Amino acid sequence: MKHGKYELGRTLGEGNFGKVKFARRVDNGEAFAVKILDRKRILDLKIDEQIKREIATLKLLKHPNVVRLVEVSASKTRIYMVLEYVNGGELFDKIATKGALSEQVGRKLFQQLIDAISYCHDRGVYHRDLKPENVLIDANGKIKISDFGLSALSQHLGNDGLLHTTCGSPNYIAPEVIANRGYDGALSDIWSCGVILYIILIGELPFDDRNLAVLYQKIIKGDTQIPKCLSQGAQNMLRRILDPNPRSRINVSQIKEDVWFKQDYTPTVPYDDDSYPDDESLSLKVEADEHRSIPTQINAFELIGMSSCLDLSGFFEKEDVSERKIRFTSNYSPKTLFEKIDEIITEMGFQVQSGNRKLQIMRQTRVFTTSRSPCSVSVAAEVFELSKSLYVVELRKAYGDSTLYRKASSRCNDFEF
């Protein structure tokens, strides 16, 4: 299949609003990733402003450690975003496969992450959803920050100079964002970078709990242990970043002056403007309903809720490149479904906890851990009612080994529900 000067190939990932496909430019064979978005779905869910904001943000960013937006075009039914193709996968999968990285390797990745975030902040861009899944790594070990869909720009600041939209991923969200009294976008991004550094060096999350309320309490208190096996410099860096008080938390400038950070540090130089396409090639024309009121910002948790309940087209599809969520339909009642899943999963050696129309599926493994402290692979199973005789089963991987998750979800999906 062709789109303009690009030949589209295999699907790299699928989401609630479209697909990402591998593509090659016809004239020179250069590889790209093309994000294909369904315009009707975007308009129906009233998130066209979010898409426009992501495109506008990527237009501002011309840095080697940020995924490059090459071109944007649109038809009556679809929006095409041509992006730089990063062939090394997610940082999440790298750590899930290899475990904690050495300080030398981890520091190199962290230096690139800080360079990229510093560049973004200097241009008034706050990512707000930094996590290992949104940090890609190419074949040469260079990181690329992706997914600016929840980012904020300087014009989104309130009269108090702070951001006020609660968004982000629970394990990586800063305590001041949870407090919901306004927050500094730069400092909240730094907190998320600290969580990522902790995972890189230690192999597990600094703040984690199956109960969201308990998790948030731990984050607000900064309740985590920094292993003594790390160098004193690494311990100090983590302690200063994971400071629950944003006023005393280390900022980007202070990080760059830190002795541990500066070891073998070569700052990344941003691209010249001449190496990027002009603004006209990055224009987007979306014909929104003139009579429809479109919000300028959207709460991430509301977005997750909407996509889970309203996006019926994805029920028979794996929804992202890491296959962390699958859905399928059934005519059985929730009680019967949970009993069947419990039976299948228990036979595979997993532990199952139930409650409130959900199951938590766990198994001990060495993923995201040091040799001293194994942790759990965790998969949540939930049932949504579409009608009195039709239900949707959703399996979501919270964290852990992708191979075990796929094995468990495949067994459930293949069972004759």
Q: What is the DSSP string of 161-230?
A: S-B----S-GGG--HHHHHTS-B-HHHHHHHHHHHHHHHHHHSS-SS--SSHHHHHHHHHHT-----TTS
Residue where the block lists tokens 């009269």: 159
Tabulate helix, strand, coil % of the chain (nearest 5): 40, 25, 40
Question: Annotated catalytic sites, by residue?
Answer: 129
Residues in binding site for ATP: 35
Domain range summary for the chain, segments of one domain joined by +: 2-86, 91-262, 323-414
Specify the pTM: 0.66
HSE value, Cβ hemisphere, 13 Å, CA-based, for 83: 27
Specify the CATH class of 323-414 in words. alpha beta
Compute the radius of gyration of the chain from its Cα atoms.
22
- In sequence order, the 6+-apart residues with CB closer than 8 A to the CB of 125 are 57, 60, 61, 148, 151, 152, 153
Residues in binding site: 35
Residue 358 sits at φ, ψ, to 5 deg, of -135, 155
Query: 188 is written with which tokens?
Result: 């909240």
Beta pairing partners, 404: none
Q: Which residues of the chain have pLDDT under 50?
A: 277-323, 364-375, 387, 416-417
**pLDDT attached to residue 304:** 30
Distance CA 215, CA 211 (A): 6
- For residues 35 and 74, is the Cβ–Cβ distance under 8 A? no
Per CATH, the homologous superfamily of domain 2-86 is Phosphorylase Kinase; domain 1 (3.30.200.20)
**pLDDT attached to residue 295:** 29
Per CATH, the homologous superfamily of domain 91-262 is Transferase(Phosphotransferase) domain 1 (1.10.510.10)
- For residues 267 and 118, is the Cβ–Cβ distance under 8 A? no
**pLDDT attached to residue 359:** 58
Beta pairing partners, 6: 3, 25
**pLDDT attached to residue 358:** 55
SS3 377: strand
**pLDDT attached to residue 152:** 86
